[in-house]
Amino acid sequence: MRQVRSTDWLFHLYLVLFLAYMLVPLIVMGGAAFNDSRFPSVYPWVGWTDRWFVELWADTRMWNAFANTIYVALAVVAISVPIGTAAAIVINSIAGTTRSVLYALMVAPILTPGAVIGISTLLFWNGVGNAAGSGFFLFKAGLHMSVLGQVSFIAAFVMLLVLARLQSFDRGLEEAALDLGASHAQVMRRILLPHLYPAIGAGAAISFFQSIENFNVTLFTRGTYDTLTVYVFSKVRTGITPTINALALIMITATLLGAVGYEIIRRRRERRLAGR
């Protein structure tokens, strides 16, 4: 089976270079969080410190921005997942021009620069507010508007994932359920959605992370609120300290722990299913 023996070293070299390319920046970034230097760097190494973590802990503006980010992300997930799933189901069940137009309409925001989405979201809702002659807060910039702006393109990611999963759905199951007396709503709840859950779950995760890392759209629509990315950006202008590195290190660690934890649960479940 191993026919590539003569080029094994080349393969290993490639692997090492690739992993180094991916991981060295993270290691440098993480190391800088412990360097007792006013600037985020590992060279020159001034000395070991945990003061950036202490400063981070005391940074209430940062924690406020962090909370805002989570709120926005949760709201984006809550709105994007139903919209994306529904769009996928509709697009999958129609054909012809309507399908193409709908598909293009859904996917276009992914291809649109974030700044454009941000500005147009702001202008659109301002316009609606002016037309209605209302000073109601929903028409003004704020976190809710960041949510709307982000949903406009994040829902498309959910849709693409669910659409891919729908390709493997056997329409025969739907017919079988109808034949057994199920209504369309029952088919949806008991047959179609359970089939789509993996894609919906993945869509929710991607929506969450897309929202957390979003900067362009949020910057234009946030009003007076800070989110993490916007806050970090403002720090870059006013003078950056390794607290940012400390924050990044915590986030990476949390993500890694989450991934490892999920994998452990998944394997345990797999073993349980196999053993049944």
Partner 1 sequence: MSAGVDLDNVCADFGTFRAVDHVAVNIRPGEFFSFLGPSGCGKTTILRMISGFIPPSRGVIRIGGRDMKGQRPNQRPTALIFQNLALFPLMPVWENIAFGLEVRGVDRHKRRARAEELLQLVDLPDAADKAIAQLSGGQKQRVAIARALAVEPQVMLLDEPLSALDLKLRQHMRAELRAIQKRTGVTFIYITHDQGEALAMSDRVGVMSQGKLQQVADPREIYNNPANGFVASFVGENNIFTGDIQGAEGDLARFATASGTFTARLGPAVTQGMKARLFLRPEHVRLAPAAASANSIPVEVTDVAFEGNFISIHARDAGGQVLLAEARNDGATAVPAPGERLHFTFDGQNAVILTGDTAARDADE
Q: Does 93 bind partner 1 (CB under 8 A)?
A: no
Residue 47 lies near partner 1 (rule: CB under 8 A): no
The answer to whether 121 and 145 have CB atoms below 8 angstroms apart is: yes
Q: Does residue number 183 form part of the binding site for partner 1 (CB under 8 A)?
A: yes
Report d(CA 72, CA 66) in Å as an integer: 10
User: What is the smallest separation between the CB atom of 262 and partner 1, expressed in angstroms?
Assistant: 21
Which is nearer to partner 1, 138 or 173 (by Cβ)? 173
Q: How many other CB atoms sit within 10 Å of the CB of residue 246? A: 24
Would you put residue 181 in left (φ > 0), alpha (ψ -120 to 50) or beta? left
CA distance linking residue 151 with residue 155, whole number of Å = 5
For partner 1, which is the closer residue by CB, 140 or 195? 195
Stretch that binds partner 1, among 22-30, 56-64, 70-78, 191-199 (CB under 8 A): 191-199
Is residue 51 close enough to count as binding partner 1 by CB under 8 A?
no
Of positions 135, 167, 180, 238, contacts partner 1 by CB under 8 A: 180
Residue 10: Cβ-neighbour burial (10 angstroms; 0-12, 13-18, 19+): exposed
Taking the least distance from each CB to partner 1, the nearer of 95 and 273 is 273
202 binds partner 1 (CB under 8 A): no
- Can residue 173 be called a binding residue for partner 1 (CB under 8 A)? yes
Give the Cα separation of 114 and 211 in Å (integer).
12
Interacting span for partner 1 (CB under 8 A) from 20-28, 60-68, 147-155, 179-187: 179-187
Q: Does 186 bind partner 1 (CB under 8 A)?
A: yes
Distance, CA of 236 to CA of 145 (rounded, Å): 24
Query: 73 or 196, CB closer to partner 1?
Result: 196
CA distances, 260 to each of 52, 89, 176, 206, 263 (Å): 27, 32, 39, 17, 5
For partner 1, the binding residues (CB under 8 A) are 170, 172-173, 175-183, 186, 190-191, 194-195, 273, 276
